Each structure stands twice: as structure tokens, then as C-alpha cells.
Chain A
Amino acid sequence: MTKQIDNKSTRREWLQKGLIYGAVGTASAALAGIFIDVWFSASRFTTARWVNIAPASTIPYDMTVPFPDKKIAIVRKNSRLAAVSLECTHLGCLVTATGQGFYCPCHGSFFGSQGEVYSGPATRSLPWYTVRIHKNNIWIHTGSKQQTPFWVTIG
């Protein structure tokens, strides 16, 4: 009943407490991490894939051919091809290809032929997709957006 608390035993008590809190705390955090990882796992599933657009030979020289249902356009320069997204970077309307570049009917954004923003509410340029030619067919990969055109040469 006396209040003689000797220093050594308090220190040991603190050490013990620290160990317990430390171990249980870290482990709980790790365990919580596992659960959170599972809860957010859904975002690791991607629908990105190769999509067949059209036979390469059907794209005329120096033309931009839109494929509205796939929300892309194939740009041809001589024997080189690239694929640009037609989804406006402002609020997602479908842009139309004009001679100079791309025009969005919704809020009037203008994009240049490289997809760069000329004017309008949009601030980011139109992205480009990775393209491949396989057996004369043009394929794009939907999970591969990039800032600059990805040119391929028709072989």
C-alpha cells in the first residue's frame, strides 16, 4: 500500500506497454492495409484491350477518318498512321475532325492537328493511342493513351 514505486519497475512497465502498443499497432495497420487493398482492388481490373479499327488500305492519303462509334480517328500522313481520341478533354463530348484540327460542338474547344489545345474550355490535349498493323488491319490499344502521336508505317 505504500507509494514506493521504484524506478526500475516503472521503466519495465513502460517498455512492456511500448512493445505491446507497437506490435499490435503495426500489425493492425498492416491488417487494415490488407483489407483496404481488397476494398480498392476493383480498380485494378481494366477493360483496356486491342481493338480492330479497319483495314489499313481503306484510309486515304493525308486524311483524318473518324470512327465515332469507337471514339477515335485515324490520321494518315503519307504511309504513316496514328490514332487520336475523339473524346473532348473538357466534358467528354465527341469532337469532329476539321481541316485544321478538331472542334468540339459542346462548348467550342479547338484542338490542333497534334491534339494540342488551341482554344476553349478544354485544358488538356487530345490523347493518342498505340497503333499496330497486323495483316493489313489497324489495331489500337485502348489502355495506352499518350500525349504525342504514335506513328506506324504501313508496310
Chain B
Amino acid sequence: MKKKTPQPVWINYLLLGAAGVFFLSVMFTGWKAYPKQNHVMTQYIADLTINLTGLPIREHCTSCHPAGRFPLIISRKKRQDKPHPDITPHLTEELGCTGCHLGEGMAVDPNISHGLPGMGAREVLKKKDVQASCYTCHKLAPLQGAKLAWKGYKLFFEKGCDTCHFVDGLELAGRYGPELSTIGTYLGLKKIQESIKYPKNDPVNSIMPRIPLSSSQIKAISYFLKSRTKNPAHLTPMARNALRSEKKVHSGQEPSTGQNIFKDKKCMACHQYGDIDGGVATDLTFIAQMRSKSYLRDYLRNPQKLVPGAIMPVIAMSPVEEEKILDFLVTSSYFTLKKRDPKNLYMALCQRCHAADGNGMGIIYKNLSGLPRPFLKNSDFYRSVPQSRIIKSVESGIPGSAMPPYDKILSKAEIDSLLTLIFDSFIGLKRDDKKKFATLPPEQKNPLATKHTKKLYMKNCLRCHGKFGTGTGPEYLEHTPRPRNFTNNVFFNDIEDKRIARSIYDGVPGTSMPPFKTIVPDNELWNLVTMVRMFSKNDD
């Protein structure tokens, strides 16, 4: 006979407990998940299929908003019974809701139906914002009720947005910035407005300049852009293809006068010319007096070649148009300032970039390839720069940057008085107050960038100046002024090895560039100079 095994009676109690817990949790779930009284879910749910140009769209919107025009038979207190405003000749029951208002028609939830947060692509458009949808179906032409959207369309060209942004089906446009043909499908109104208002918010290294626009102008443009969608209802895919292929390149016609072309190409959307000021780029009123015609032509054809890092796009134009614009500039450019005292000269010539208070943050400073050198609180820098170099920078400009040569429009005496003014009122330094530097290590005969030099570069320089010397190392956005771009061959062709060596050895005061004399061994200094030089020699 076997010993009696103890029975695990606890299992019985476990089971009893488990049954109780199960019972309670099912009941709780049923109570919690069952829609509360008067909730839409206890009723029939409106389920309409609308056919918008061959695309069936299914919607539950009228469950809560029965007022396509009238309340449904089953009317609930909470439902939105306000009738839809008259939109003849449209019929709400034929167009449905989400075609114009967006939102998620298949959801029956006060939050989700109105568009989930995120990019806001499907966020519901209310009241005036609804006009952002008009041009998804209508051809671009003045439309009653879509006045702002139409204004936005015109502003898009007036402000030169099309110079950089391509939009499908519209006239010739640049591809310098991201294409905006389907932007409305992906971004919400608010996001579009934010991107126009603060271009550098996202992504932080965006080169798009901040165009001076009023908030109502931004709104108008965003209405227009919101209507640029993936499947515009007025365009069949075939029609869209046709539009793509017959893109107008040049309208065979002889272009009109240089001045008109200058206007047509919307140069003043960014630049200043006379009284008209785009507020984004440099003043062109007397540019041809300072820069030669051939320089201007080269610049127009490829801005980045002469000023690496410039954000000006290549403007599409025929050789004839180009010639006429240049002629216009050359013949009309005159620097005419009546009172030529230093103060007025500063305000007329320097202030746009270097700012009225000399802090280097003039109205267009963010859009320049390199930030203008500040004067204010920057005495360390000026103490370290020889007098001759400062004068040279003003007289012949700084190659590879937007700083033009001023010797054509200013006399030597005027430049001198201007500099005195700057030194006195901004820098706060005697003009001959210069720092004494230790002598540099002896220059080698044929400095060579060795493996060791490269390592040195990777270790110390790369984080700011980047692997390829483009001045965009991992940390470059943390420094103002930005790290020097070594591939700027125009700039580097103009300066001596000694200056490069000095900057490495003693750093550049007033910038993030620290002195490396204790880190870089003397025998490597000149090798590093060679290395820096290599970046600008590599291209072309």
C-alpha cells in the first residue's frame, strides 16, 4: 500500500480566486468599454461613400455632424446640428466632408477624426482655412471664396519662392530647394507656416533664408501650398505627365529691356535695388561699379564658384537675358550719396551686413556664406590683425565672400575715416594698438602632410572644419562665426601660408578657433598648413 500523498488543496483555492478575478475583470471591461449613454456609438453610424473624381472616399463624419444640411432623424443633444453654410454651387452631400475639410473620415472619435497630431497633414481645416483646399480641385485661377489662397499663389512668385522650389505644373522653376509639388499631402498648414517663418527650425542646417513676410502673407502662401497635393483632383495623371514634359524653358520671344528682365527674374525678391528691398541678400544698386562685368557674369552662372557656400541659386536665363541684365546693371550703377561723411557712409555701405551697432548681425547676416566680422566687443581680433590687412579688406574686398572691393567708390581718405569711425565707436581700440606675437616656428622647405599630420587633423580640427574641410564638422553649428571653409579656394588663393600658420599657432581671437601652439608640435605646423591648402586645391 502506497503512502497517501498530500493533496495540493491550495490549487482549489487558486482556481476559486482565479475564477473570481476573471469574472471581475470581464465585468469591469464590459462596463468600461461599453459606450456611455447617448454616445454616438450606441446609435447607427453614418457611413457614406463619396466619389470625388473617381476616388471613392468613405466617411463617418455625418454621425456627429449630421448637418451636411439638416440634422438626421435621430438627433442627439451633443451632436453638432448647426447647418452647413451655403456653398452653392457645391453640394455637401456630393462632395462629402474630408475632400475640403480633411480630417480622418473613417474615425468616429472627437480627437482622431480631426487629424492626429504630428505633421498635421490631415488636420481639419476650419472656417477660412478651408480655402486651402480649393485649388486641389480647381485650376489655378481667381476664385470666389479663395481670395487668400489665390493671393498666396501670386505671392509665391512675387517673393521668388519659385526661384528655388519646383512646383509641378507651374512655369519653369528652380530645383535648388525641396520640391513642393506634393507638400500639402504631407504637411499641415501650421507646419508649412512655421517652415516659412522659421526656416532654420527644422532642419537646423537649412540654407533657406528667412524671407521678410507678414503673417497674413505667410498664411496666404501656406493656403496655396496646402493645395499642392499628391493627387490633385483637377489633374489626371496623364495631364500631369504632359505638364511635366512640356515645361516651358524659354519662350522664344526676344526678352524685353534689361530692367524688365531684372524685375521678371525677381532679383529684388531677395536683393535691394534702389528703394526696393527684398531684405534677404546684398544691395545691387551700385554693384557693377565695384565688381567687373565678367565677375558678375561668372557669379550669375555659378554663385558658389566665386563665393563658396553662398545660398544664391542659379537663376535660369538665356544668354541674351543674361547679357541684358548685366548691361542694365553696368549702365545704371552709381553710388550716389550726398553727404559722404563716415557715419552716412557706414549706414549706406556697411550696415546691411555688419549691423548698425557693429555687432556683425545686419539684417541679411544669416543668409551670407560666412558671418560678417563683428566690430563690437571684438577688440581682441582687431588687435591681432595688422593694419595693412584691414585696409586691404576694405579696398579690395575679401575674395570668396560677399565683401566687395570698395576702392572704386570710396577714396583712400574716406576709407581711412570710415575705419577710424569703426575703431573708435565700435571696437574701442586705438588703430595702432596691436598685439605682439611670438615668432612662428621656422618654415620648412617642402612641408608635407604626413600620416601623422592627418591624424592630428582628425583629432583636433575635424570636429569643426569637417572631414573634407568644408567647415561643417559635427559641431559646426555650435560656433559663431562658423568654422572657416577650407574648400573656399578663392579665399585661400588670396592669403599667405604665414597667415594660416598664425591662425593655427595662436588661434583666431574673437572666434572659437583656439591657439594650438601647445598641441601641435612645431615640426607639424607647416605640414598642417599644407594639409589645409590641399582641401582648396582638390576641387577643380
Q: Do A47 and B49 contact each other (CB < 8 Å), given the known contacts A52-B93, A139-B69, A139-B70?
A: yes
Closest to A42 in B: B47
Knowing A23-B22, A48-B44 are in contact, say whether A143-B69 is a contact too (CB < 8 A). no
Most buried by B among A27, A44, A46, A132: A27
Say whether B69 contacts A46, CB under 8 Å.
no
From B4, which residue of chain A is reached at the shortest CB distance? Answer: A1
| Nearest-Cβ distance from residue A88 to partner chain B, whole angstroms | 24
Within 8 A of B (CB), among A1-26: 1, 16, 19-20, 23-24, 26
B26 interfacial by beta-carbon distance below 8 Å: yes
Give per-residue flags for B9-49: 1 if the beta carbon is below 8 A from chain A beta carbons, else 0: 00010011001101101110110010000000001111111
In the bound assembly, the distance between CA atoms of A47 and B72 in angstroms comes to: 12
> In the complex the two chains form, is A143's CB within 8 Å of B22's CB?
no
Q: From the candidates A16, A45, A46, A52, name the one contacting B16 in the complex (CB within 8 A).
A: A16
Residue B62 lies at the interface, judged by CB distance under 8 Å to chain A: yes
* CB-based nearest A residue for B73: A144
Whether, in the assembled complex, A50 has its beta carbon less than 8 Å from a beta carbon of chain B, the answer is: yes
In the complex, whether A134 has a CB less than 8 A from a CB of chain B is: yes
* Cβ–Cβ contact B44 & A31, under 8 A: no
A20–B15 contact, CB under 8 A? yes
Least Cβ–Cβ distance between A1 and chain B, in angstroms: 7
Q: Which residue of B lies closest to A137 (CB)?
A: B69
A interface, how many residues as a size bin? Answer: 20 to 34
The reply on A106 being an interface residue by CB < 8 A is no
Asked if B68 and A143 sit within 8 Å, CB to CB, the answer is: no
The answer, yes or no, to whether A93 is at the interface (CB within 8 Å) is: no
Q: Does B494 contact A (CB under 8 A)?
A: no
Q: How far is the CB of B487 from chain A (nearest CB, A)?
A: 63
The one of A19, A24, A139, A143 in contact with B73, judged by C-beta atoms closer than 8 angstroms, is: A143
| Residues on B with beta carbons closer than 8 Å to the beta carbon of A23 | 19-20, 22-23
Chain A CB within 10 Å, residue with most, of B23, B49, B69: B23
Chain A: CB-nearest residue to B58: A45
Whether A49 contacts B62 in the complex (CB less than 8 A), given A27-B27, A34-B30, comes out as: yes
Q: CA–CA, A31 to B27, complex, Å? A: 9
B44 in contact with A45 (CB, 8 Å): yes
CB distance from A119 to the nearest CB of B (A): 32
Contact A130 B73 (CB under 8 A): yes
| Contact call A26/B23, Cβ cutoff below 8 A | yes
**Interface size classification for chain B:** 20 to 34
Query: Is B86 positioned at the interface, with any CB of A under 8 Å from its CB?
Result: yes
Which residues of chain B from 371 to 423 have any CB-CB distance to chain A below 8 Å in the complex? none
Q: Does A141 contact B (CB under 8 A)?
A: yes
The residues of B that contact A33 with a CB separation of less than 8 Å are 30
**CB neighbours of B29 from chain A (8 A):** 34
Asked if A143 contacts B72 (CB within 8 A), the reply is yes
Asked whether any CB of chain A lies closer than 8 Å to the CB of B276, the reply is no
Please encode chain A, from 46 to 71, with 1 for each CB lying within 8 Å of some chain B CB and 0 for all others.
11111110000000000000000000
Q: Are B46 and A49 in contact (CB under 8 A)?
A: yes
Shortest beta-carbon distance, B1 to chain A, in Å?
8
- Cα distance A45–B58 in the bound complex, in angstroms: 11
Determine the distance from Cα of A52 to Cα of B20 in the docked complex, in whole angstroms.
Answer: 56
The reply to whether the CB of B91 lies closer than 8 angstroms to some CB of chain A is: yes
A129–B30 CA distance with the chains assembled, in angstroms: 37
Known contacts being A47-B49, A135-B86, is A52 close to B22, with CB within 8 Å?
no
A27 engages B26 (CB within 8 Å): yes
Contact indicator A141/B27 (Cβ below 8 Å): no
From A1, A44, A130, A139, give the contact of B44 (CB < 8 A).
A44
Known contacts: A1-B4, A132-B70, A143-B72. The answer to whether A46 contacts B46 by CB under 8 A is: yes
Distance A45 CA – B1 CA, assembled complex (angstroms): 69
A31/B26 contact (C-beta < 8 A), A50-B68, A130-B73, A141-B72 known: yes
Nearest-Cβ distance from residue A150 to partner chain B, whole angstroms? 11
Kindly state the separation between the CA atoms of A33 and B62 in the bound complex, as whole angstroms: 28
Assess A30 versus B16: contact at CB under 8 Å? Given A47-B48, A51-B93, A132-B70.
no
Q: In angstroms, how far is the closest chain A Cβ from the Cβ of B529?
A: 75
**Bound complex: CA of A139 vs CA of B48, how far in Å?**
17
Rounded to whole angstroms, the CA-CA distance of A48 and B60 in the bound complex is 11
> Which chain A residues border B25 with CB–CB below 8 Å?
27
Q: Are B46 and A20 touching (Cβ within 8 A)?
A: no
Q: Which of chain A's residues have a CB closer than 8 A to the CB of B16?
A: 16, 19-20
Determine whether the beta carbon of B70 is less than 8 Å from that of A46.
Answer: no
**Could you say which residues of chain A place their CB within 8 Å of the CB of B1?**
1
Interface 0/1 of B69-90, CB less than 8 Å to A: 1101100000000000010000
Q: How far is the CB of A6 from chain B (nearest CB, A)?
A: 15
Whether the pair A30, B26 counts as a contact (CB closer than 8 A) is: yes
Return A15 CB to nearest CB of chain B, in Å: 10
Min CB distance A132 to B, Å, is: 6
Instruction: Give the complex CA separation of A28 and B26 in angstroms.
Output: 8
A46-B47 in contact (CB<8A): yes
Q: Which of B30, B69, B86 contacts A50 (CB under 8 A)?
A: B69
Q: In the complex the two chains form, is A27's CB within 8 Å of B23's CB?
A: yes
User: Measured between alpha carbons, how far is A48 from B93 in the docked complex, in Å?
Assistant: 11
| CB closest chain-B residue, reference A43 | B44
Which B residues lie within 8 Å of A44 (CB)?
43-45
The answer, among A30, A48, A134, A143, for a CB contact under 8 Å with B70, is A134
Cα separation A23 to B73 with both chains bound (whole Å): 42
Contact between chains at A50 and B93 (CB < 8 Å): yes
List B contacts of A47 (CB < 8 A): 46-49
Residues of A within 8 A of B68 (CB): 49-50
- B20 neighbours in A (Cβ, 8 Å): 23
Bound CA–CA A1/B3 (angstroms): 10
Contact with A along B404-445 (1 / 0, CB 8 A): 000000000000000000000000000000000000000000
A-B contact pairs, 22 of them (CB 8 A): A1-B1, A16-B16, A23-B19, A24-B23, A27-B25, A27-B26, A27-B27, A30-B26, A33-B30, A34-B29, A44-B43, A44-B44, A45-B45, A45-B47, A45-B60, A46-B44, A46-B46, A47-B47, A51-B93, A52-B93, A141-B70, A143-B44
Extra pairs beyond A23-B19, A26-B23, A130-B73 (4, CB < 8 Å): A16-B16, A20-B15, A28-B26, A143-B73
- Residues of chain B having any CB pair with chain A under 8 Å: 1, 4, 12, 15-16, 19-20, 22-23, 25-27, 29-30, 33, 43-49, 60, 62, 68-70, 72-73, 86, 91, 93
List 6 tightest A-B contacts by C-beta distance, closest first.
A45-B47, A23-B23, A27-B26, A23-B19, A20-B19, A27-B23
